[in-house]
Amino acid sequence: MSTTSGSSPSEGAPGERRVVLVSNRGPVQYGREGGQRTTSRGAGGLVTALSGLGRHLDQGVWICAAMSDEDVAVAHESPNGVCPPELGDGDLRVRLVALDPGAQDAFYTVIANPLLWFVQHHLYDLMTAPNITRHETRAFESGYAAVNRHFADVVAEEVEAAGGDTIVPRPIVMVHDYHFYLLPELVRARCPQVFLHHFVHIPWPQPDSWRVLPPPMRDAVFRGMLGNDVVGFHTEHYARNFLLGCQELLGLPVDLSAMEVLVDGRVVRARWYPISIDPEAFETLARSPAVLGYEHELLARRRDHLILRVDRTDPSKNIVRGFLAFDLLLQDHPELAERITFLALLQPSRQDVAEYAAYMERIRHTVDEVNAKHGTSDWQPIELHLENNLDLAVAAYKQFDVLMVNAIFDGMNLVAKESIVVNERDGVLALSENTGAHEELGAFAVTLHPFDLQQQADALYDALTMPAAERRDRREACARVVRQNDVAKWLQAQLADIDRPAER
């Protein structure tokens, strides 16, 4: 490729690649129970998608942050990483990085979540928030930037240990998500020849949204990202927004037909790859004894209709408005009383971030109100579970009539994809138009408008009362799309672009 970084060795077959993967949350989290070390799967869409990577990459290391106390213990015991059996038989090594606790807290609870997450999901009520004070400015430098520097050092160490950045095929560094916007520029300075590829799992908003951040912060974000060779998003819309930001905020020349930006004589490509799941893995899980056990329990107490939602307790998921729409549905259709359950399987998320703790309280409060208003001695309209239980979620995936995804904005939403491939009741997806998944599945879903409560209530009713043949056709079409665009295809498309030279 025609970059100023000099020679461009040809890349080898996927099996020969030395891949350094970087994400904040790793594939396994360690804990301790009754004196024994325990492992559990990391939460969220990123881990769901990347956990399948081990099967596709022969050699590699996944660098991630030690998040629990036990993770820190593992990081100290095995500074070069561990090969958790949960990730399959491949040689993917997981290297946990123990961070300075103060820096990690500022990085995670002040900058990454909420500031970047809220800007990118349009969650701020700008009349009242955010207030950027010395606290945030310091947290950006001593937290976000410091953690990015620490990870850049670890990446450079791994590249050097694998033979340096000039070996053939040249090493690939795949960076994930909004925690590491500054890292690519830092790695580029240390290892100019590596191929840097960054995938952003969340929406990338239009340039004006970034103006919420003061120029030093937003310029650092864009400059850092421009250290990459390829920047990947879920949708073309996000990729275009990124280039428009480079043009409008940094004044760089962009080519919107080639989807490239020129910076310091290098070409950076913006691409889109809709992330997906491993359908077979979910089908296998759906047959497991643990899932069958939960399914049995669900069937024993199910009523005529089951609405399901499965989410982290994240404000972007729009959980409270979903319950308010359900309240309207019950009000408009008294005939549904005692015949319907709204099962909400919610994983508590980011409870050390004030906004998230407050949102969890609002969820509980709204559930209590709706249940008190409509419930009877024999019927709780909303059944709320606050836990991380994948087996229970998959059992519910098999049995829902309608899956509600009414997110305010969501980069992709993998729950929609996971659930539709295992559903056994011709369940209907009720899907927010502001999810990445809507681009692929919207034609076969019932579309929800995240702020229009009455529209959501009416759409839920339409989905619940749709003729059986139409429900079947829609479910089959959605499942077909997910099977065709699976996670292997998502990865292959990225690897193919790594091999393809830039246009200029």
Q: With respect to ligand G6P, which residue has the nearer C-beta, 25 or 471?
A: 25
State which residue, 201 or 474, has the beta carbon closest to ligand G6P.
Answer: 201
Q: Which is nearer to ligand G6P, 177 or 260 (CB)?
A: 177
Q: Among 215, 406, 368, 387, which Cα is nearest to 313's? A: 387
The contact set with ligand G6P (CB under 6 A) reads 25, 43-46, 113, 177, 201-202, 349-350
What's the min distance (Å) between Cβ of 250 and ligand G6P?
25
CB of 478 to ligand G6P, least distance (A): 21
Strands across the sheet containing 305-312: 382-386, 340-347, 305-312, 402-405, 428-432, 446-448
CB of 196 to ligand G6P, least distance (A): 18
Token couple for 21: 């993967």
Residue with tokens 């949708």: 235
**Nearest residue to the partner ligand G6P, using Cβ:** 44
- Backbone torsions φ then ψ of 15, nearest 5 degrees: -65, -20
Closer residue to ligand G6P (CB): 313 or 341: 313
CB of 162 to ligand G6P, least distance (A): 25
* Contact status, residue 1 vs residue 502, Cβ threshold 8 Å: yes
**Short-list 137, 141, 36, 27, CA closest to 84:** 27
Q: Are 450 and 432 in contact (CB under 8 A)?
A: yes
Map tokens 């209530």 to a residue: 457
- Rounded CA-CA distance 89/470 in Å is 42
- d(CA 302, CA 429) in angstroms, rounded, equals 19
Nearer to ligand G6P, 209 or 316 (CB): 316
User: Smaller CB distance to ligand G6P: residue 25 or 170?
Assistant: 25
Query: For residue 78, what are its two tokens?
Result: 């095995």
Give min distance, CB of 238 to ligand G6P, in A. Answer: 13
Query: Residue 60 Cβ, how far from ligand G6P at the closest point, in Å?
Result: 19
Provide, rounded to whole angstroms, the least separation between the CB of residue 46 and ligand G6P.
Answer: 4
For ligand G6P, which is the closer residue by CB, 116 or 307? 116
Task: Phi first, then psi: give them for residue 343, nearest 5 degrees.
Answer: -90, 120
SS3 labels along 167-222: CCCCCEEEEECHHHCCHHHHHHHHCCCCEEEEECCCCCCCHHHHCCCCHHHHHHHH
